[in-house]
Structure 1
Amino acid sequence: MRLLVLVSVCLLVSVWADDTPVDLTLQPGEKGKDIVDACIGRINLAQIFQDDAGMLRRIAWVESQFGEAEGVTTCIWGVTPTMYETVSPSQATKDAILEGLGIDWDQVDVSDLNKPLYCALAARILFAACQTDLPLSLDLQADLWATCYNTQGNMQTYIDAVNELEQESECKIPGMDMVFVLDGSGSVGADNFETVKDFVSSVVDAFEIGQSRTRIGVVQYSNEIQNEFNLTEYGNKPDVQSAIGNITYLQGSTYTGAALRYMTDVSFSLEAGARPAYQAIPKVGIVVTDGEATDNVRGPADRAHEAGINVFAIGIGGYDRRELNQIATDPDATHVFAVDNFAATDYIKDALEGRTCKEPAPVPVGENVQGDLPQGTLQFLSFKVKIRHGMTFKLKMRVGSVNFYLSIRIRNPNRALYDFRLRTRPNKMRLDIFIPPSRLREMLGRERRQAVVDDDEEVELYASLEGVDGTNQFDLETDEGDTADPAYLDNGSPRAAAGVLTLVMLLLTAIMQ
């Protein structure tokens, strides 16, 4: 009898432990794509370095196939003890690592290289020391890798490995609403404007275009705003690309602020074809400009961000870096591209494809999200809630099952890094979870390394949903406060955990008697 009770206790505890916060980026020996993506996500969100031009992910594949190549036992990024001895970050970088990730680099030694996040940081510091502004060109990256990072390698090895890695699209989301905002001012020039059109067409080519998939709109601006076409005007790729080719160059001044206002108020309106909030389709604005704006951009850019538009800023030639940072969504390291000439836009295409596909769709708390995810498809969401209220999630499956991850530490939580996880199964078609203020305070305090967090602060929660079965249809309801139904509480929720712990105590008492 005591043995049976003890087994029951172990099972109850294991169910709760399965849904406690997980961070495999700090666990020695962990490897795989999710680990690499989680490490890069944490580093990018901490805004320690400038844009890595995709090199951190590429090097993880080139060096070790994300740690899964035969014979790889330590650092996914191939940092050897000898290489580690040359890692010498500036004090400013050390301070940024401590503030952003809570890691005191002065206390790190070579034995920490088997922890993925530490290994990724060492690699990032190493190739930042080689070159501050990392190249977008694959050939130039290969040269940098072979001459500065891995001197035993050769350029073709890097190129072949990256081509292998990126031959299949990483874009596994249901779709997005994407609007290009193109600088048509006189300083661009007619020939360069044609290059920009070719660039836009090549970006479009990377996506599955359709009314139920990715929709494309284009706005051109100078001292006037010209709506080239709305999100629903063309429903297939050939028609979209043909329309891009037919755009006529405006000329004039550079009123970028006015263009941002138009993008927010008109281009992403329901009337212009943007999908409603309950579909949780990311809104992505891509601003291409060659110079400093004639008008103010900060106010219009802030409004775009507040409206839930994920803005990427591409500066060409005479760009103002400060202005690009204002235009772009944070973190700047993943949302700002700056190149010296129009020909270099070709190098941005692949990076832009990968990054736009990982943008979360902001969802107002209280909005009911309705999703349809084929197997392996991902949907990224974000929610803002005041700590004092706490937040309830109610996940209801109509068909199939999903994995649902929540975090404040990474924009795309996955199995390697999350604060909460819900897992629906055939016998669990609805799961509720309430995150109380105490847990939100703990999460935010841990991330900021603060002992005290104000209850009036707003915390942003990031969510990922992954389709498990062939067809997966769900409803996700959110509320401020505790509206969870006890009948559907997941064993991993804090409120359910209290009940589990009470039962554990009763069972332990029974064992002792």
Structure 2
Amino acid sequence: MVPGSIGQDVVEASIAKVNQIKLFADDSGFLFRLALVESKFGENPQTFADQTNKSPNIWSIDSQKFRETKDIQKHPELLQLYYDLADKYDIDWQRLDIYDMQRPLYSALASKMFLHLNGQPIPETIDDQAQYWKQHYTAIGDGNVDADTFVQEVHKLEDLYECSPHISLCYVLDGSGSIGSSDFQLAKQFLYNVTDKISSENGQFCLVLFSSDAQTIYDFTVTDKTKRLNKIKDLIQPDMSTNTRAGIQKTVDIMETSINQVPYKTMFVLTDGYSDDGVQPAVSNAQKAHIKSWVWGIGDGVKDKELNEIAYNIPDNVKQLTKYSSMDSYLYEFKKTLCDEIIHLIDGQKFDDTSVQNEKRYFSIDLPKTGAISLTIQLTNGNTLGYYAYSTPNPSSAVNDGQLDTNPYNIPGQQQHSQVYVTIVGQGPNNVYSITPTYI
């Protein structure tokens, strides 16, 4: 909300606020990519040096785009949007002017509104989004705009992102005959790309392939990433029926028999259809084993009811894509989902961690009924930054209630909140540290 604020943290916090109110359709990561390509999250000096722009901002909301968000005669549906914004965020959009777009949240909302009013659905793939950006958003009417710029900038940032989550993760891949051989290759490539950028420093991984039955491609004993990548590359499609239940149950068995238990267990189911004989009791067994479940359904053959059943009826853990080639567009989002898992700490528990530069680790700690929390960061290598917040699950430089600028740091208790959220950001190329909360 501070005029002129810039940076990726500001962009991500603004988008989170926009998505939280659920007024607009999913944009397949387009709003994030717009901020990157239009202004490098506001950090491109040219964004604010352009004297012809009355209100330079992260999303390049100019007078033309802003007028569209105010034209009730042309877009009568705006009245309902105004009402919803006033109700959810106490924003009176009709009273805003172009200079308010310097507030990142407002320019993010204006960008979403402009795209919504355009009436053209936002494509899923990065290449198609680049063409959409060229035709409907940037320098509208300028035939000299190069869509390749969009693709290059997006891949430069998203492909390189990697992290090392504390997670036991199993991919559950559909290899049934209804998937074309080219689509199966796209699914393999997606898993290869994810595996290549998710470090096994703090986690363990397995892959189950299912068709008429299920087979373990690799389990937690395969700790070498190169071996896992080669096994994905060598995958052969079974090309038979769809026994999703067997794939999920095989995953439960791997998780339950693992000797080295990483506490945060997750399965990711990727399927193009629905199982021949349902998914129970495997899904119930997974839920009882406290395995978090994500599912992607691809194509028009999926059953909404079954996807929701696999995800324990948690809508945010279900994604439907129109085609396998769309998966690449969600690679960055998927990696972030895995790496942004919140780790719960308890009083006196020492948690050891390693991270790369700018990697963020998210924690939650129950607040004592009286007193405060003393948080000790013990560094072995590198350096860290830290933030805390009482109501924001992923505090950052953009949204926080305080910065951890001393060690140990005392976080005050709050009667209206039962827990506090903490983010630790790695500052060096290789950061080794421990974090210990103590009630005082």
1:340 aligned partner = 322
Q: Distance in 2 between matches of 1:223 and 1:38?
A: 44
Secondary structure, in 3 states, of the residue corresponding to 1:406?
A: strand
Q: CA deviation at 1:139?
A: 2.6
Q: Which amino acid aligns with 2:175?
A: G
What 5-or-longer segments of structure 1 have no aligned partner?
1-25, 441-458, 485-513
**Which of 25, 40, 57 is residue 50 of structure 1 equivalent to?**
25
1:349 aligned partner = 331
Q: Distance in 2 between matches of 1:38 and 1:163?
A: 24
* Cα displacement string for residues 177-236 of structure 1 (whole angstroms, at most 9, x for unaligned residues): 43211123443355543442233223323x155x42564321123454432211331412
* TM-score where L is the length of structure 2: 0.79
Secondary structure, in 3 states, of the residue corresponding to 1:227?
A: strand
Q: Distance in 2 between matches of 1:338 and 1:153?
A: 34
Distance 1:193 1:130, change over 3 A: same
Equivalent residues, number: 421
Structure 2 counterparts to residues 282-361 of structure 1, below 5 A: 284-293=266-275, 294-295=277-278, 300=283, 304=287, 307=290, 309=292, 311-321=294-304, 323-324=306-307, 327=310, 336-353=318-335, 355-356=336-337, 358-361=339-342
Q: Distance in 1 between matches of 2:218 and 2:359?
A: 29
Q: Distance in 2 between matches of 1:129 and 1:257?
A: 42
Distance 1:83 1:167, change over 3 A: same
Higher-Rg member (1/2):
1
Q: CA deviation at 1:127?
A: 1.5
* TM-score where L is the length of structure 1: 0.69
Q: Distance in 1 between matches of 2:122 and 2:112?
A: 11
* Cα displacement string for residues 336-367 of structure 1 (whole angstroms, at most 9, x for unaligned residues): 443333344344434434x3354223325344
Q: Which amino acid aligns with 1:115?
A: R
Q: CA deviation at 1:126?
A: 1.5
Is 1:183 the counterpart of 2:169? The answer is: no
Q: Which amino acid aligns with 1:360?
A: E
Distance 1:52 1:299, change over 3 A: farther
- Equivalent residues of 2:249, 2:285 under 8 A apart: no
1:395 aligned partner = 376
* Cα displacement string for residues 23-80 of structure 1 (whole angstroms, at most 9, x for unaligned residues): xxx1111112221122122223444433322211211122222223325253210111
Q: CA deviation at 1:241?
A: 2.4
2:193 aligned partner = 202
2:206 aligned partner = 217
2:343 aligned partner = 362
Distance 1:396 1:364, change over 3 A: closer
RMSD: 3.8
Is 1:125 the counterpart of 2:113? The answer is: yes
Q: CA deviation at 1:123?
A: 0.3
Structure 2 counterparts to residues 109-258 of structure 1, below 5 A: 109-131=97-119, 133-150=121-138, 151-153=140-142, 157-168=146-157, 169=159, 171-175=161-165, 177=167, 178-188=169-179, 192-205=183-196, 207=197, 209=199, 211-212=200-201, 215-222=204-211, 224-237=213-226, 239-250=227-238, 254-256=242-244
Q: CA deviation at 1:411?
A: 4.3
Q: CA deviation at 1:116?
A: 0.4
Name whichever structure is richer in helix by fraction: 1
* Cα displacement string for residues 418-465 of structure 1 (whole angstroms, at most 9, x for unaligned residues): 1333124xxx3x223242323x1xxxxxxxxxxxxxxxxxx6754320
Percent identity, please: 22
* Cα displacement string for residues 353-404 of structure 1 (whole angstroms, at most 9, x for unaligned residues): 4x33542233253443212335433222345x48968973522324454222
- Equivalent residues of 1:67, 1:75 under 8 A apart: yes
Structure 2 counterparts to residues 397-436 of structure 1, below 5 A: 397-399=378-380, 401-407=383-389, 410-424=392-406, 428=407, 430-436=408-414
Secondary structure, in 3 states, of the residue corresponding to 2:296?
A: strand
Q: Which amino acid aligns with 1:174?
A: S
Distance 1:181 1:81, change over 3 A: same
Is 1:468 the counterpart of 2:427? The answer is: yes
Distance 1:322 1:29, change over 3 A: farther
Tell me which moved more, 137-146 or 287-296.
287-296
